[in-house]
Homo-oligomer: A and B are copies of this chain.
Amino acid sequence: MPYFDAASAAPLHPVARQALLAALDEGWADPARLYREGRRARLLLDAAREAAADAVGCRPDELVFTSSGTTAVHAGVAGALSGRRRVGSHLALSAVEHSSVLHAAAAHEAAGGTVTQVPVGRSGAVDPEGYAGALRDGTALACLQSANHEVGTEQPVAEVAALCAEAGVPLLVDAAQSLGWGPVAGGWSLLTASAHKWGGPAGVGLLAVRKGVRFAPQGPAGERESGRAPGFENLPAIVAAAASLRAVRDEAAAEAVRLRAMVDRIRTVVAERVGDVEVVGDPERRLPHLVTFSCLYVDGETLLHELDRHGFSVSSGSSCTSSTLEPSHVLKAMGVLSEGNVRVSLPMGTAEVDVDRFLEVVPGVVAEVRERLGAPVSAPPSPAPARSLVVDALGRRCPIPVIELAKVIGEVPVGATVTVLADDEAARLDIPAWCEMREQEYVGEEPADRGSAYVVRRLS
């Protein structure tokens, strides 16, 4: 049963499992104690810290283990901001950071700080010049992910780090999605990561803070992990995390080549066979194992459900998934289509035959969902006499408003407009994206009694 959602949680690596089992026997005691079980636990903890620091590219005393990637981000952002509060309270970050970074930024803002979101281009990457502009006086910290978790685009971390260094601003890099593939290049000041993203166990994050970076841990004091991560060390999981990071790194170069080729095939074949699809994210500067595409006229939840029925576990940043009604902030910031969104992230070791089968199944599944929703199958029908049309999609959820638009666009003459009335939040994103894909003109959004009126001019 192919599981293609490694970016959410990678299956446990065999080395992680072995190390965890061994450490359950050897590393359950308190490493702060002086008796033999404590000393043994301390040795394991020290060895794990050395291995993890080696993989990160920092000194062991610069690295602490936290209880998750999220807590590493929260502790790192809060500690760095507080350490530099005399400089100012401005935080610069990209618009496509992981929610843990955005939540930390929101908490900073709620406490009186200021935040600048650096925009991204259509590929999902920031322009380093965008950071240069955001690093104004009083900037305490900048944050940039190493690679995006939804579309796989790699960020220009080294360039941004150089700009930050020039401005004297520390850069925190959220390396959650990339650390298993290799160390983060460039002169970062703080780095965070999450073990269950590379095949380690849940319950372990990393926070590295370079010597010389001002850092003031927030929250109640703690004796563990240099006062940077409260609570008893989750030692067996830490040992497993460090061991699996090393193991994964040994396999990374070969796996990257293999998975990159599979993802290239998915990018090509989906674009060819599915039709009315937008493959998003940078095609070159990207994570080896991750690809995201959005299918017009399809709702993400049904699509995921159908793929699950066919045995494929994939994820979605679509607004139509049940966990949230908000369209993905990443796709929104990129200005790409969000409806019918599918993220495929291949775990290491993925068999090519499973990708083959996925590529056989996807076109049919998308077509079936489209048919069920009454979406247009091929080119729009021949033009009808009406000069302009209003479509009422009020109360209808994504992807219905776009489907209704597509159904009638052929009925107005070139130059005339279709106005879609919709109150679904995703329409604001998806109607302009559809226009861009279909080379129609998106005239704009007007207020309406209920929801908004989205005006589209037929160009061809």
Interface residues of A (CB under 8 A from B): 1, 3, 5, 8-9, 11-12, 17, 20-21, 24, 28-30, 32-38, 67-71, 74, 99-100, 103-104, 106-107, 194, 196, 201-203, 205, 219-223, 230-237, 301, 304-305, 307-308, 312-315, 321-323
- Can you list 8 A-B contacts (CB < 8 A)? A5-B30, A9-B232, A28-B202, A67-B67, A68-B231, A70-B232, A194-B232, A203-B237
Selected from B17, B33, B230, the residue in CB contact (under 8 A) with A100 is B230
Residues of B close to A9: CB separation below 8 A:
28-30, 232
Asked if A196 and B104 make an inter-chain contact with CB atoms under 8 angstroms apart, the answer reads no
Asked if B234 and A37 make an inter-chain contact with CB atoms under 8 angstroms apart, the answer reads no
Asked if A12 and B28 make an inter-chain contact with CB atoms under 8 angstroms apart, the answer reads yes
Nearest-CB residue, chain B, relative to A322:
B34
Q: In the complex, A363→B302 CA distance in Å?
A: 73
Min C-beta distance of A445 to chain B, whole Å = 29
Asked if B70 and A231 make an inter-chain contact with CB atoms under 8 angstroms apart, the answer reads yes
Asked if B221 and A107 make an inter-chain contact with CB atoms under 8 angstroms apart, the answer reads yes
- Each complex incorporates copies of this chain amounting to 2
Min C-beta distance of A438 to chain B, whole Å = 30
Min C-beta distance of A59 to chain B, whole Å = 23
Asked if A104 and B220 make an inter-chain contact with CB atoms under 8 angstroms apart, the answer reads yes
Given A68-B67, A107-B219, A223-B99, answer yes or no on A308-B231 (Cβ-Cβ < 8 Å): no
The 7 closest A-B CB pairs, nearest first, are A68-B231, A67-B67, A203-B234, A35-B313, A70-B231, A103-B220, A203-B203
Q: In the complex, A301→B352 CA distance in Å?
A: 60
Other 17 A-B pairs with CB < 8 A, given A103-B222, A106-B221: A5-B30, A9-B232, A17-B24, A32-B323, A34-B323, A38-B313, A67-B231, A68-B231, A70-B231, A74-B220, A74-B230, A103-B220, A103-B221, A196-B232, A202-B233, A202-B234, A203-B203
Asked if B70 and A222 make an inter-chain contact with CB atoms under 8 angstroms apart, the answer reads yes
Interface centre among A100, A103, A202, A322 (most CB of B within 10 A): A202
Residues of B close to A323: CB separation below 8 A:
32, 34, 223
Q: In the complex, A100→B235 CA distance in Å?
A: 19
Residues of B close to A17: CB separation below 8 A:
24
Asked if B11 and A68 make an inter-chain contact with CB atoms under 8 angstroms apart, the answer reads no
Min C-beta distance of A95 to chain B, whole Å = 17
Min C-beta distance of A51 to chain B, whole Å = 19
Given A12-B24, A24-B20, A104-B220, answer yes or no on A69-B202 (Cβ-Cβ < 8 Å): no
Residues of B close to A3: CB separation below 8 A:
29, 35, 37
Min C-beta distance of A351 to chain B, whole Å = 17
Asked if A74 and B219 make an inter-chain contact with CB atoms under 8 angstroms apart, the answer reads yes
Q: In the complex, A265→B237 CA distance in Å?
A: 38
